[in-house]
Amino acid sequence: MTLVQEFEDRFGHAPIGVWAAPGRVNVIGEHTDYNDGFVLPFAIDRATSVAASVREDSTVRVSSTFSDSGEVIVSDLDELSAGDVDGWAAYPVGVLWALRQAGHQLKGMDLLIDSQVPVGAGLSSSAAIECAVAVAANELYELGLSGSELALIGQRAENEMVGAPTGVMDQSASLLGKVGHAVFLDCRSQHAELVPLPLQENGLALLVIDTRVSHSHATGGYAARRRACEIGADVMGVRALRDLSEDDLEEASGLLDDETFRRVRHVVTENARVQAAVELLHAEGPQAIAPLLDASHVSMRDDFEISCAELDLAVESSRKAGALGSRMTGGGFGGSAIALVQVEDIDRVSSAVTAAFAEAGFTEPAIFAVSPAEGAGRVS
Ligand code: GLA
């Protein structure tokens, strides 16, 4: 059954259209977004689709192809407060709620969601849902919001309805992505610049190694890292860690406890790596950024401490088998690593990583190539 037929089946009428939004990988720039820093993600060629129609009342009905037996979850926008919706429905409903909180006029919607973005793999399946719903609502209610404005709406849904204190990177990548490009985003000004990422043209591929260790950013480690960054900025007397440079690290080491210092050092050096990566992409092309990917992983493993045994093994085994550079991507504590490889090495690297996981007694990873794709929009 097509998504449109499925929609008719569940809601008893036809949708007005279908919108889609991609997941993302982050090339480099991890845990820098909520520090007002720099990120370099791209929208991937796997998307979430939503068939949608408007309603005359304030009811939202959401259903998905991935939830139990076609259940339809019903909420009333007039009655909702932050945190009221649980589970996956918090993402789509949260977006409509956040639009209203931001002062936009909209009534309810019927929404059916289908996702090709693997869930819990660190590829922003949640942002893909938010952005697909955001572009649908933006068009159907003629709100006229830009991609950057919709990204903030998605972030608000995630922060306040889902309760995950995440930054604005994932939604920005999903909304602003372009084929063949990465999105260089200044998370303070939200200024975005498209940077060419000609992988294929250079005989390269970017492999995702999904460790199958699932993670949740609504709990524990992510929020603790964010707090440490805020404390670090506070002690250093700056608005956000974005305002520190590598020259400030010596002073920081004297003022901060060891753990907080290492958190700060990760963010400061990672911001510098993002900027270096953008320069190298312009000057030399994708192959040149490989050493920065390696350095980013070491920083996340040792300073920010958000890696895990599976991610470290994905990175080490892919590098050993010939990957040019490799790092964990996304929030950490599970999810995926990325490896920059020569096209002729894809099979060798994939088999070596799979063998290393088997040897270690880990669940078999899912390994696949991704390429920079178009951001969210209407598909039919
Ligand atoms: C998650 C969050 C993002 C970002 C990354 C880490 O993907 O949703 O906002 O903080 O982690 O870079």
Concatenated DSSP letters of 272-337? HHHHHHHHHHHHT-GGGGHHHHHHHHHIIIIII----HHHHHHHHHHHHTT-SEEEEESS-SSSEE
Q: In this model, does residue 218 exceed pLDDT 60?
A: no
> Per residue in 182-209, pLDDT tens?
999 999 999 999 999 999 999 999 999 9
Q: In this model, does residue 217 exceed pLDDT 70?
A: no
**105 burial via Cβ count (<10 Å: 0-12, 13-18, 19+):** exposed
| Helix axes of 90-101 and 125-140: crossing angle, nearest 10 degrees | 50
> Per residue in 52-70, pLDDT tens?
999 999 999 999 999 877 8
Six-digit token string for 321: 């088998």
Q: Given this model, what pLDDT does residue 147 score?
A: 98
Six-digit token string for 377: 């929009």
Query: From ligand 1's centre to the CA of 11, what distance in Å?
Result: 34
Residue 45: its H or E element: strand 38-54
Listed in order, the ranges of the chain carrying CATH 3.30.70.890 are: 200-370
- Is the CB of residue 128 below 6 angstroms from any atom belonging to ligand 1? no
Query: From ligand 1's centre to the CA of 18, what distance in Å?
Result: 27
- Is the CB of residue 267 below 6 angstroms from any atom belonging to ligand 1? no
Atom of ligand 1 nearest to the CA of 164: 8
Homologous superfamily (CATH) for 200-370: GHMP kinase, C-terminal domain (3.30.70.890)
Six-digit token string for 89: 């429905």
Residue ranges in the chain assigned as alpha helix (H): 3-11, 90-101, 125-140, 147-156, 169-176, 221-236, 249-255, 258-283, 290-298, 309-320, 346-360
Q: What's the average model confidence in pLDDT over 219-229?
A: 92
Tell me which amino acid residue 117 is.
V
Six-digit token string for 163: 């309760």
- Is the CB of residue 330 below 6 angstroms from any atom belonging to ligand 1? yes
- Is the CB of residue 331 below 6 angstroms from any atom belonging to ligand 1? yes
Model confidence band, residue 120 (pLDDT cutoffs 50, 70, 90): confident
Six-digit token string for 274: 């993002």
Model confidence band, residue 309 (pLDDT cutoffs 50, 70, 90): very high
Which residues lie below 8 Å from residue 198, measured CB to CB, with a gap of 6+?
Answer: 180, 285, 286
> Per residue in 18-47, pLDDT tens?
999 999 999 999 999 999 999 999 999 999
Query: From ligand 1's centre to the CA of 30, what distance in Å?
Result: 7
Q: Can you say whether the dihedral through the CA atoms of 23, 28, 29, 31 is positive or negative?
A: positive
Q: Can you say whether the dihedral through the CA atoms of 165, 168, 169, 175 is positive or negative?
A: positive
Query: From ligand 1's centre to the CA of 124, what distance in Å?
Result: 9
Q: In this model, does residue 151 exceed pLDDT 60?
A: yes
- Is the CB of residue 169 below 6 angstroms from any atom belonging to ligand 1? yes
Listed in order, the ranges of the chain carrying CATH 3.30.230.10 are: 3-196+374-378
Q: Can you say whether the dihedral through the CA atoms of 61, 66, 67, 70 is positive or negative?
A: positive
Q: Atom 8 in ligand 1: which residue has the minimum CA distance? A: 166
Query: From ligand 1's centre to the CA of 125, what distance in Å?
Result: 12
Cα atoms in the 13 Å half-sphere on the side-chain side of 169? 30
Six-digit token string for 185: 């985003």
The pTM of the full predicted model, rounded to 2 decimals, is 0.97
**Strand-pair category, 59-64 with 73-76:** antiparallel
Atom of ligand 1 nearest to the CA of 331: 11
- Is the CB of residue 33 below 6 angstroms from any atom belonging to ligand 1? yes
Q: Can you say whether the dihedral through the CA atoms of 292, 297, 300, 303 is positive or negative?
A: negative
Q: Which of 78, 114, 113 is nearest to 96 (CA)?
A: 78
Among 169, 227, 305, name the best residue to mutate to test ligand 1's pocket (greatest count of ligand atoms within 8 A of Cβ). Answer: 169
In percent, the amount of the chain with pLDDT more than 90 equals 96
Atom of ligand 1 nearest to the CA of 169: 9
Model confidence band, residue 329 (pLDDT cutoffs 50, 70, 90): very high
Query: From ligand 1's centre to the CA of 332, what distance in Å?
Result: 9
> Per residue in 233-290, pLDDT tens?
999 999 999 999 999 999 999 999 999 999 999 999 999 999 999 999 999 999 999 9
Q: Which of 132, 131, 11, 12 is nearest to 62 (CA)?
A: 11
Among 217, 226, 305, 311, name the best residue to mutate to test ligand 1's pocket (greatest count of ligand atoms within 8 A of Cβ). Answer: 217
Atom of ligand 1 nearest to the CA of 33: 10
Neighbours of 163 (CB within 10 A): 16
Among 36, 110, 114, 170, the active-site one is 170
**Strand-pair category, 377-378 with 204-210:** unpaired
Atom of ligand 1 nearest to the CA of 222: 11
Cα atoms in the 13 Å half-sphere on the side-chain side of 258? 2
CATH 3.30.230.10 fits 3-196+374-378, yes or no: yes
Q: What's the average model confidence in pLDDT over 205-229?
A: 89
Model confidence band, residue 129 (pLDDT cutoffs 50, 70, 90): very high
Query: From ligand 1's centre to the CA of 8, what distance in Å?
Result: 35
Model confidence band, residue 334 (pLDDT cutoffs 50, 70, 90): very high
Is 78 one of the annotated active-site residues of the chain?
A: no
> Per residue in 67-107, pLDDT tens?
877 899 999 999 999 999 999 999 999 999 999 999 999 99
Six-digit token string for 26: 């982050």
Six-digit token string for 318: 């892919």
Six-digit token string for 6: 């499925």
Work out the mean pLDDT of the chain and round it to a whole number.
Answer: 97
Q: Given this model, what pLDDT does residue 219 score?
A: 65
Q: Which of 368, 327, 304, 335 is nearest to 120 (CA)?
A: 335
